Amino acid sequence: MLSMTSHNLDFARAGFDFVACGCSSNASYLVRNSSKGVLRRVKYEFGARKWLCFRRDFGSCRVVSTKTPEAFVNVPGVIELKTESRKLNSVSVKNLFEIVADDLLVLNNNLQSIVGAENPVLMSAAEQIFSAGGKRMRPALVFLVSRATAEFVGLKELTKEHRRLAEIIEMIHTASLIHDDVLDESDMRRGKETVHQLYGTRVAVLAGDFMFAQSSWYLANLENLEVIKLISQVIKDFASGEIKQASSLFDCDVELDEYLIKSYYKTASLIAASSKGAAIFSGVDSDVSEHMYQYGKNLGLSFQVVDDILDFTQSAEQLGKPAGSDLSKGNLTAPVIFALEKVPRLRDIIESEFCETGSLDEAIELVKSCGGIERAQDLAKEKADLAIKSLQCLPQSAYRLALEGMVKYNLERID
């Protein structure tokens, strides 16, 4: 396989650095030297998909899609080619979201004013989450789906509804994190102290409530009944997910379907609804908006399964919280559910609620050693495949590439 690596490449708004980091497309792309012309042609393959690359070693380059020749972008830097049979460079979130970087910048500037400057304590609590190193994945997905579907119907720019939806989604997500940390009694979030740890449980609960209420107010002002119903259901799903989780702690009879339903409520529902909402505001057919819903749903489920795997495979420093924290609290996730089918001893340890010294560490090792991690990886890949399939209704574009890249990025976290 022909792989490509890059030095100091910034493909700015077009997202063409996906060539360098390993994403692919059915489209072909040309890399031209703007001052000296085409130097040579290189065929790039990823799976069954191909790229055409023309390069020169020095000077300012231009990237042109052979399917959309109007898309030109200045590209500084040099591309090196290596013909090795090895995995392509990892996808980075920064590169994936570069194509909507301006949209995210506007969102970041608006978030604080949306929360409400008249509530300094709540503003401070929200800022603790907003500044805690989050990737803004959910609003970025809103922008990517918005732009991918807008292109589909010939819409040149995003509407104010698209932008407001992204802001609402980030507020709802932030509110859910504040409440989750209270319920889970988590002291750390992304390596920083949680809101309730800094300000107390009372302020944290009120801050979360306020952000849910504020997001609902902005949602109502969108004046689109379909989207209002869609996103309102998400807030209900959050509560349903927490109740399901709380009622099944240390329950070794929990089944995979129950785990997936809970994961949908707690994680995938928001991503699915926001993806569909973005498509609705673009004015696409209901069939396309439903495909976007399925994309978000399966991406969200895949993300949750990967997060649950990482709870066993990463260190506390990498996670920003203690490793195995879900298991220690009795929250049985996909790796544990699969492991329970193989190791009777694991059931005894869990049902004892880790009362013996060292029993949690033993349980973690059992999950790792009996194939629970590997089967969970297969589940994450299954959901990822479904997400990719849902994007086939969209025409090829840099935005669709980024949406595909998000699925790939998620799976690379467990490679």
Q: What is the pLDDT of residues 95-149, one digit of tens each?
A: 889 999 999 989 988 887 776 666 677 777 666 666 654 568 999 999 999 999 9
Question: How confident is the model over 287-312, as a mean pLDDT?
Answer: 97
Highest mean pLDDT among 19-23, 189-193, 286-290: 286-290
Q: Name 63's bridge partners.
A: 31, 73
- Short-list 146, 99, 139, CA closest to 282: 146
Instruction: Report yes or no: 27 and 66 within 8 Å, Cβ to Cβ.
Output: yes
Instruction: Report yes or no: 295 and 266 within 8 Å, Cβ to Cβ.
Output: no
pLDDT score at 126: 65
**Of 38-42, 65-69, 244-248, 360-364, which gets the smallest average pLDDT?**
38-42
- pTM score, two decimals? 0.76
- Short-list 188, 170, 237, 178, CA closest to 208: 178
What's the CA gap between 61 and 77, in Å, rounded?
8
Instruction: Report yes or no: 176 and 159 within 8 Å, Cβ to Cβ.
Output: no
What's the CA gap between 165 and 160, in Å, rounded?
9
Q: Which SS3 state, helix, strand or coil, does residue 252 take?
A: coil
**What phi and psi values does residue 223 have, to the nearest 5 degrees?**
55, 40
